[in-house]
Amino acid sequence: MSNDGTSLQSLNTFSIAAHAAAITYINSTAQLVETWKKAKEKNQPFLLLGEGSNVLFLEDFSGSVALNRIKGIEVTENSEEWLLHVGSGENWHELVCYALEHNIPGLENLALIPGCVGSAPIQNIGAYGIELQNVCQYVDVLNMNSGEIKQLKAEECQFGYRESIFKHAYKDGYAIVAVGFRLTKHWQPKLTYGDLTRLDPHSVTPREIFDSVCAMRMSKLPDPAITGNAGSFYKNPTVDSVVAEKIQRDYPSMPSYPQANGQVKLAAGWLVEQANLKGFCIGGAAVHQNQALVLINKDHASSADVRALAKHVRDSVAAKFGIWLEPEVRFIAASGEVNAVEALS
C-alpha cells in the first residue's frame, strides 16, 4: 500500500490505489471553508470525504481531497428524550458505542456501519430495521461559499431509502458539519430483521441487540481492514408488483418486501446469486462468497477491475431478470462524482 502524502489507498475502504493532487485533514468548519476557497481559487476540483466507505475511485482525483475530522459529542436531556449534537467527523460506530456506554439506547441496530456521522444522513444509512431518519432530529449544513450554516429539520431532509436532499439540492458546495439526534427515553426494541426476531422483546437489552447485529454483520460482510469493499455495491431495487409476481412464479422462495405504495422491494443480493455470480472474478475484483451484493478487492484490484465486474453483474442480472440494478456506491472520476449508472452503461 502506497503511503505518500497524496495516496488515497488507505482512505477508501475498497483500497483502490488512486492519488489526489492534495489531501487535507479538516478539524473545523473554518478550515473547511478555507480549504474549499483555496481549491476554487486554483480552479481545482474539491472532494469532501469521511472514511471513504461508500466511494469507488475510477482514476486519480485531479483536485483537493478534504478529510472530515470535525469532532465533538454534546448530550442534553429532558424528561422524554436524550438530545445529541455530534460533529460530522466523529466515527459512526464509536458514536453507537458511546451511546450504549452512557445508557442511551436507540442506535444499537445501526452498529458496525463504517464511516462518519456526517455521511450518515446523505444516504440515510440503514440496517436491521432502522434508518438514520428514525433517530435524526436535524442536520447542520455549511454553505462553503458563504460560510453560513443552516439547520435542516429531519422533515426537511427528504429522507428515503438510501436517499436524501444531500444527494440533490444540498450536494455541490455544501458540507454537513453536525447531526442532531433525538433518542426517546421510552425505548422499544426493534426486532423485525434477521436473527433479531429470535430475541425476546420483553427482556432484551440494547446491548444484546448490539451484540446480535455485530455477529450477523461479521458473519456476512467482509471487514474492509482485511478485504477491500464498500458494503452493498447496489441498492435493492423496487419494482411493480406484477414484475415481482412474475419472477416469484419461477422462484417461489424469492425474498420480497411489499412497500406502502403497492410496489415490491427485491433483494439485489439474491438476484446476483441467482445469476450464478457468487465468487465470480474479473482481475483482482470478485463477488463476495457470503453476500453477493458486496463486490470485493480480492487481490490488488484496479478500479478498472471493479468497474468491469460491476458492469458484468449489472448486465447479467438484467439479462436474467430484466431488472437493472443501480449502484449505491458513489463513483468518483478525476474531476468529481460521475453518474454511476452511466459509468456502467
- List interacting residues with ligand FAD (CB under 6 A): 13, 47-55, 68, 88, 113-116, 118-120, 122-123, 125-127, 175-176, 221, 224, 229-231, 330, 337
Q: Which of ligand FAD, ligand EPU, none interacts with 67 (beta carbon under 5 to 8 A by kind)?
A: none
Contact with ligand EPU (CB under 6 A) among 9, 15, 68, 236? 236
What does 174-241 look like in DSSP terms, one character per residue? EEEEEEEEEEESS------SGGGGGS-TTT--HHHHHHHHHHHHHHHSPPTTTSEEEEESBPPPEE-H
Residue 78: count of CB within 10 angstroms of its CB: 8
Determine, following the binding rule CB under 6 A, whether residue 83 of this chain makes contact with ligand EPU: no
Which is catalytic among the residues 162, 217, 307, 314?
162
Active site residue 182: no
Active site residue 342: no
Active site residue 328: yes
**Residue partners of 38: CB distance under 8 A and separation at least 6:** 64
If the CB atoms of residues 33 and 175 are measured against ligand FAD, the closer one turns out to be 175
Residue with cell 458473519: 219
* Nearest approach, Cβ of residue 145 and ligand FAD (Å): 14
- Cα 213 to Cα 215: distance, rounded to the nearest angstrom: 5
**Are the C-beta atoms of 266 and 239 separated by less than 8 Å?**
yes
Contact with ligand EPU (CB under 6 A) among 128, 166, 210, 321? 128
The H-or-E segment that residue 46 falls in is strand 46-49
Cα-based angle 226, 234, 2 (whole degrees, multiple of 5): 35
Q: Which of ligand EPU, ligand FAD, none interacts with 116 (beta carbon under 5 to 8 A by kind)?
A: ligand FAD
Phi then psi for residue 308, to 5 deg, are: -65, -40
Determine, following the binding rule CB under 6 A, whether residue 325 of this chain makes contact with ligand EPU: no
Phi then psi for residue 164, to 5 deg, are: -170, 175
* Nearest approach, Cβ of residue 180 and ligand FAD (Å): 14
Determine, following the binding rule CB under 6 A, whether residue 64 of this chain makes contact with ligand EPU: no
What is the chain's length?
345
* Nearest approach, Cβ of residue 120 and ligand EPU (Å): 11
Contact with ligand EPU (CB under 6 A) among 107, 136, 191, 293? 293
Q: Which of ligand FAD, ligand EPU, none interacts with 273 (beta carbon under 5 to 8 A by kind)?
A: ligand EPU
* Binding footprint of ligand EPU on the chain (CB under 6 A): 127-128, 193-194, 220, 231-232, 235-236, 255, 267, 269-270, 273, 291-293, 328
Could you list the active site residues?
A: 162, 232, 328
